[in-house]
Structure formats: C-alpha cells, structure tokens
C-alpha cells in the first residue's frame, strides 16, 4: 500500500488527508479593532495530486467569483478529489465590505504584488496572500469580472507561452482566450515569476451576478480539475468546442461627450468601419456613430449611457484566423452557457 499522504499546512493550520477545513488567517484589524481574517477553504484529498488555488474578489466589487466559489464548494464531485483544492472566495476583504474595487487607501490590490511585510496596506495584504496561500499552489485560477458599469464576455486571459497555463486555458472552455501580457504588480505576474501557471477568468460586470458568467465559471473550473486529473473523467463526454484564441485586443473610445447607446451584443463579430453605438446630445439634435477600426469580436462593453470623450466603450479581440469562423465558435460556446441571454439585450436595438 502507498504511504499515507502528508497533512497540508498553511500558517499554523494543518489539514489531514481526506479532511476539509475553513482556515482563518489573521489579516488585519478594522478601526474598531474587530478582527479581519482571510478565510481559506482547504480540501486535502486522500490521494496525491496537484494543488489548485481558486481565488476571487481580489477586486472587491467583482462578485461573480464569490458565487462561483460557493457553488463549487458544495459540488458533490469534490468528494472524489485527488490532490488539494484551496478556495479563497474573498481576497480583498476591505474592498468587499465597501463594495469597492480598491483598498481603503485607494490602492489596487492587484497592482501590489509581490508585496512586502513593511509596505503599504496593499503591499502587506499581497505579501500575506503570496507567502501563506499562493506559495502552496501548483496551479491557479483567478476569478474576475469587468469593472463597474462594464461587462465582459466570459473569457480566459493567460500567458500562453507557458504550456501548463495554455492547457488549463483550453480545458476551461470559455468562448474566448486572450493571450495577454501580465500587468506590473498583478498576482498573475507574481505567479508567473514563481513558476506557477495561472489563468484568469473574466466574466460579467462588477457588483452584479450574471448567471451565464457564473455557470461558465463553475463548468470551467470542473473541466480544469478533470484536466489536471484531480477529478475522474466524465462517463459520458460530449465533444467540447475549442475556444478561439485572440492574439491581441483593442479598445474603441468615445470621441465625444454625451448620451451613449450600444448597438452590438457581447460575442458579436465586428467588421472594420461597423457602427458599434451612437453618442447623442440629450436634445435630439445631434448624434454621432462610433465605429470599429479593426475587425474582431466584442469581448467587453461599457453599459452606462453617460460618456465623456476618451472613455473606453468597446473592447474588441482580434484574431489571426478568419473572424467569422471565430464568431461561430464563440456563439456556440456562449450559447452552451446561456451567455446570449444577457438581460441588457432589451435596450440593444436602435430606436428607429
């Protein structure tokens, strides 16, 4: 018989093989001196395997990931887990309490990595997360949404030059994969430097639950768990549609100030020169189209109808392959997770 698996240890906590525990890591105090803990759920399987970390809400107002974690943690498949699953539904607790993307000092926690023990609040939180949680992981899925008033088509962002990250990105099966550079100070860059493959799932909008984004996220994580052989393969497998990979993306910005109406849905194909939306004055006497400069697929969109010149309105992914093939695949995968049933569709059409 194989030797018994060693317990899993984080900070002063210990989780035995076959055990599942919620660990409370001492993070900080509120002004009130109320204890603030970083809560970490650990499921330590009886059998060896990778250690997958799922993190959400590093931006405190990006809530879909919290619901994805909740649904994942009550999923019955986890009773058969090999390896170790670490789930942190709320990384930026300060931001989450304030319903804010940021920390109380206005810093973005996802620009504070790798962090330091003696730095700013963000730097200290990043340091704790890196040393106590991230360092234990062999693979990471980091869950995000679009910023406030902006929705994203479900998509994976990863550094595809790392074959392990590419494998996870393909297995996840979101409609689009964006091969993207890491940003300075992000957890993704930090994981890259530590040699830990990380994929980032972006879907939906801040401060909202989006059913298709949540469904696609849960499904994607379960697929990655099977890909890493942490869960047994499905008995019946339907052929999985391959996501399309974008090499680059660009933003279309507002050239005017005014009232804005989008005319295009997430996941739709864009041709060069296509009218994507309109900016008008509130008096009805002036209206200007906003057009695409390059073909691609719409992967992100501003929802707030009030815009200033320079505001980023449409995020368009660009593809090396013929874009209409890409769109067909994006549509098929989006359909499977119900991404075409976004509630904002009702105000998508022009008024005449």
Nearest partner of 139 among 221, 216, 80, judged by Cα? 221
Nearest partner of 56 among 157, 141, 180, judged by Cα? 141
Rounded-to-integer distance, Cα 201 and Cα 153, Å: 10
Q: Which is nearer to Zn ion, 203 or 270 (CB)?
A: 203
Beta-strand relationship, 13-15 and 19-29: unpaired
- Answer whether 89's CB lies under 8 Å from 65's CB: yes
Q: Least distance (Å) from Zn ion to the CB of residue 317?
A: 17
Q: Which is nearer to Zn ion, 59 or 127 (CB)?
A: 59
- DSSP for 170-201 reads HHH--SEEEE-PPPTT-HHHHHHHTT--EEEE
Q: Which is nearer to Zn ion, 62 or 192 (CB)?
A: 62
Rounded-to-integer distance, Cα 171 and Cα 50, Å: 16
Q: Which is nearer to Zn ion, 81 or 213 (CB)?
A: 213
Q: Least distance (Å) from Zn ion to the CB of residue 351?
A: 33
223 is an interface residue for Zn ion by CB under 5 A: no
Q: Least distance (Å) from Zn ion to the CB of residue 186?
A: 9
Strand (E) positions, the chain?
8-10, 13-15, 19-29, 35-44, 47-56, 82-88, 139-144, 150-158, 176-179, 198-205, 244-246, 248-253, 258-262, 269-270, 275-280, 287-291, 296-302, 306-307, 312-318
Q: Which is nearer to Zn ion, 81 or 199 (CB)?
A: 199
Nearest partner of 183 among 109, 263, 132, judged by Cα? 109
Q: Least distance (Å) from Zn ion to the CB of residue 304?
A: 18
CB atoms within 10 A of CB 264: 19
* Number of residues binding to Zn ion, judged by CB under 5 A: 3
Q: Least distance (Å) from Zn ion to the CB of residue 92?
A: 10
Q: Which is nearer to Zn ion, 51 or 302 (CB)?
A: 302
Q: Which is nearer to Zn ion, 114 or 146 (CB)?
A: 146
Q: Least distance (Å) from Zn ion to the CB of residue 145?
A: 7
Q: Least distance (Å) from Zn ion to the CB of residue 305?
A: 23
Q: Least distance (Å) from Zn ion to the CB of residue 263?
A: 27
Site for Zn ion in 272-311 (CB under 5 A): none
Q: Least distance (Å) from Zn ion to the CB of residue 91?
A: 10
- Ranked by CB distance to Zn ion, the top (closest) residue is 144
Q: Least distance (Å) from Zn ion to the CB of residue 107?
A: 14
Q: How far is CA 299 from the centre of its chain?
A: 13
**Going by C-beta distance under 8 Å and a sequence separation of 6 or more, which residues neighbour residue 12?**
none
Q: Which is nearer to Zn ion, 82 or 144 (CB)?
A: 144
Q: Which is nearer to Zn ion, 12 or 105 (CB)?
A: 105
Nearest partner of 202 among 165, 243, 147, judged by Cα? 147
Site for Zn ion in 43-72 (CB under 5 A): 59, 62
Binding mask 260-279 for Zn ion (x = CB under 5 A): --------------------
Residue 346 burial class via C-beta count within 10 angstroms: exposed 0-12, middle 13-18, buried 19 and up = exposed
Q: Which is nearer to Zn ion, 178 or 292 (CB)?
A: 178
Peptide bond between residue 114 and the one before it cis (omega within 30 degrees of 0): yes
| CA 202, 230, 228, 219 torsion-angle sign | negative
Binding mask 107-146 for Zn ion (x = CB under 5 A): -------------------------------------x--
Q: Name the residues that contact Zn ion, by CB under 5 A.
A: 59, 62, 144
């Amino acid at each position: 018989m194989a030797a018994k698996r060693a317990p899993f240890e984080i900070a002063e906590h210990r989780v035995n093989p076959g055990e599942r525990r919620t660990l409370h890591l001492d993070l900080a105090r509120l002004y009130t001196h109320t204890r603030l803990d970083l809560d970490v759920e650990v499921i330590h399987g009886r059998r060896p395997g990778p250690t997958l970390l799922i993190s959400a809400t590093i931006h405190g107002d990006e809530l879909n990931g919290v619901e994805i974690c909740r649904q994942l943690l009550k999923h019955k498949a986890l009773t058969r887990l090999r390896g170790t699953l670490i789930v942190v539904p709320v990384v930026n607790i300060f931001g989450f309490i304030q319903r804010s993307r940021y920390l109380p000092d206005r810093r973005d926690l996802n620009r504070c990595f790798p962090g330091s023990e003696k730095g700013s609040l963000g730097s200290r939180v990043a340091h704790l997360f890196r040393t106590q949680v991230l360092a234990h992981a062999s693979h990471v899925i980091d869950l995000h949404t679009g910023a406030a008033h902006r929705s994203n088509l479900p998509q994976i962002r990863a550094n595809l030059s790392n074959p392990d990250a590419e494998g996870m990105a393909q297995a996840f099966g979101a409609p689009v994969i964006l091969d993207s550079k890491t940003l300075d100070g992000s957890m993704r860059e930090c994981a890259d430097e530590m040699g830990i493959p990380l994929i980032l799932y972006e879907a939906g909008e801040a401060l909202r639950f989006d059913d298709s984004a949540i469904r696609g996220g849960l499904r994607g994580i379960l697929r990655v768990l099977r890909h890493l052989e942490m869960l047994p393969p499905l008995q019946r497998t339907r052929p999985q549609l391959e996501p399309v990979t974008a090499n680059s993306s660009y933003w279309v910005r507002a050239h005017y100030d005014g009232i804005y109406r989008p005319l295009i849905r997430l996941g739709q194909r864009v041709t060069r020169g296509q009218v994507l939306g309109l900016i008008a004055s509130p008096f009805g006497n002036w209206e200007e189209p906003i057009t695409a400069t390059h073909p691609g697929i719409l992967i992100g969109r501003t929802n707030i109808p009030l815009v200033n010149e320079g505001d980023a309105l449409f995020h368009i992914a660009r593809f090396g392959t013929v874009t209409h093939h890409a769109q067909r695949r994006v549509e098929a995968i989006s359909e499977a997770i119900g991404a075409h049933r976004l509630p904002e569709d009702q105000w998508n059409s022009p008024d005449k």
